[in-house]
Amino acid sequence: MDYIIRIIPQMLEGSIVTAQVFFITIVLSIPLGVLLSLGRVSSIALLQKVIGLYVWLLRGTPLMLQLFFVYYALPAVGIRLDDFEAALVAFVLNYAAYFCEIFRAGIQSVPQGQYEAARTLGMDYVQTMRRIVLPQVFRLILPPVSNETITLVKDTSLVYVLAMNDLMRTTRNLVQRDFDITPFLVAALFYLVATLLLTMLFERLEKRFSRYDQ
Amino acid sequence: MMNKIEARNICKQFQNLEVLKGIDLEVAEGEVVAVIGPSGGGKSTLLRCLNKLETIDRGSIVIDGETLVKDTSSGVEYAPEKDSRRIACKMGMVFQQFNLFPHMTVLENLIEAPVQVQKRNKEEVIREAEALLAKVGLLDKRDVYPRKLSGGQQQRVAIARALAMKPSIMLFDEPTSSLDPELTGEVLKTMRELAEEKMTMVVVTHEMGFAREVATKVVFMADGHVQAQGTPQEIFENPSNERLKAFLNVILK
Ligand SMILES: Nc1ncnc2c1ncn2[C@@H]1O[C@H](COP(=O)(O)OP(=O)(O)OP(=O)(O)O)[C@@H](O)[C@H]1O
Ligand SMILES: [Mg+2]
């Protein structure tokens, strides 16, 4: 027990990096995903294709490969990012692709009649999307977004490969230093608490957004 | 008297399917036009062309004296997007499937467009919306979500929502066709009251009773043409057109 209390400060420090990657990725990739999905369902064929290709590339290759690519390959074309920035770029681009597909499916499941009703009431594209379609989409997509978010908590551990001192690397260092596997258990607990909090948050959101369903 | 709707030579094709083959439709102020005809005859398509849910291939449409679309030698020319949206929403539309916004309460459904589109004062719009709800007998459902309502109630809300925009014309596309028989009455009653207030209406319907008793003019459409039109008397009591006779025989049996 003493040992656990001693290592907790260091592990919390590692958690800060993990939390930063997580929150910044969420805050940037969701809006980017919304924009991409709007392009994906737009009537502009070229835009649809380009975004389709983007989604295919980013969902079709491992996130770890994308991390390496941003960190090691981009400098070759003159884009040099430090490890934190590189991690964020890779995470945001990757998660935006997943969110794009979730939102696309959500948007396409809103019945045509909703668009038509909005049109006959004189609403323009922006009003229709903002007031009628997206609010309905948000309710539909909460479960898959919740899944994706929980996956992200765990995916953040991939920044390990860029030698960032996140929760995972801190844990591993402690284990190697002290020849004790307790830090692994504590780390598991940290991840579990984070995903539990998120699960509870999304349950509340789902309840709020589904009030018109009951 | 000026016509509220003047549609000339409307032609509309879906891929290879010619659905409207030169339709003329005139609707005078205060008229209630019932559009009847066999399934697939293009009735819904005609309504949807009037408010630009579908664009036409040829012909012209003038609403309330404003040109929505005109024929030119090189095809049709629509009014600019903003104007055509404004012209189209002079017509309130009621759909077979209601199409209420499920994430909004009844009241929110009504005030959404007047506030967001017409930028009218919210308090005033709410007062008017409540009056409309009272009129369709649903004021007590003001804060309920659509899913909690019966089909007939939803359709009456949809009518009130369209009226909240103060349209000068109301279009109905089979407003009672997806309702259980015992619920059609309440919707027809609301429409009847609208007609009595001299609202200009175009109603696509299979309710021959409504067409006969409420319509001032009946239009019979089949195969993309207006086959016959006239007063309910002329259409139902003395049909001269063969297709119309056959249609009435089947439907009034
Ligand atoms: N968006 C579309 N794309 C292709 N074909 C269509 C489309 N909309 C309608 N049609 C076709 O056009 C024809 C006329 O359809 P419309 O819905 O106007 O008929 P209707 O008279 O309203 O029939 P009903 O009484 O069944 O509602 C039908 O054959 C229909 O399949
Ligand atoms: Mg129809």
Structural domain spans, chain B:
100-167
d(CA A122, nearest CA chain B) in Å: 5
Q: Is the CB of B42 under 6 A from ligand 1?
A: yes
Residue B40 in contact with ligand 1 by CB distance below 6 A = yes
Across the interface, whether the CB atoms of A123 and B113 are under 8 A apart is answered: yes
Concatenated DSSP letters of A137-198: HHHHHHHHHHHHHHHHHHHGGGGGGGT---HHHHHHHHHHHHT-SHHHHHHHHHHHHHHHHH
Residue A56 belongs to a domain with what CATH number?
Answer: 1.10.3720.10
Residue type, B41: G
Residue A192 Rama label (left phi>0; alpha psi -120 to 50; beta): alpha
Structural domain tally of chain A? 1
Q: What is the mean pLDDT of residues B1-9?
A: 90
Tell me if B165 and A113 make a contact (CB, 8 A cut-off): no
Closest residue in A to B146 (Cα) is: A212
User: What is the rounded average pLDDT of the residues B180-190?
Assistant: 93
Residue contacts between A and B (CB atoms, under 8 Å): 70
Name the interface residues of A facing B (CB cutoff 8 Å).
Answer: 111, 113-114, 116-117, 119-124, 127, 131-132, 135-136, 139, 211-214
The answer on pLDDT for B213 being more than 80 is: yes
DSSP B173: E
Assembly ipTM: 0.94
For ligand 1, atom 16: residue with the closest CA:
B42
pLDDT tens for B131-174 read: 999 999 999 999 999 999 999 999 999 999 999 999 999 999 99
Q: What is the pLDDT of residue A214?
A: 54
| Domain that includes residue A70, residue range | 2-213
pLDDT of res. A163: 82
Closest-CA residue to A55 (of A42, A30, A68, A36): A36
Across B215-225, average pLDDT? 95
Residue A118 is inside which H or E element, if any? helix A112-120
Q: What are the pLDDT tens digits along chain A (214 aa)?
A: 788 888 989 889 889 999 999 999 999 999 999 999 999 999 899 999 999 999 999 999 999 999 999 999 888 888 888 899 999 999 999 999 999 999 999 999 999 999 999 999 999 999 999 999 999 998 889 999 999 999 999 999 998 888 888 889 999 999 999 999 899 999 999 999 999 999 999 999 988 887 766 5
Which has the higher per-residue pLDDT, B2 or B66? B66
Residue A210, helix vs strand vs coil:
coil
Question: What residues are neighbours of ligand 2 (ion), with CB under 5 Å?
Answer: B 44
Interface mutation vs chain B, best among A43, A114, A120, A124, most B CBs within 10 Å: A120
What is the position in ligand 1's atom list of the atom closest to the CA of B15? Answer: 4
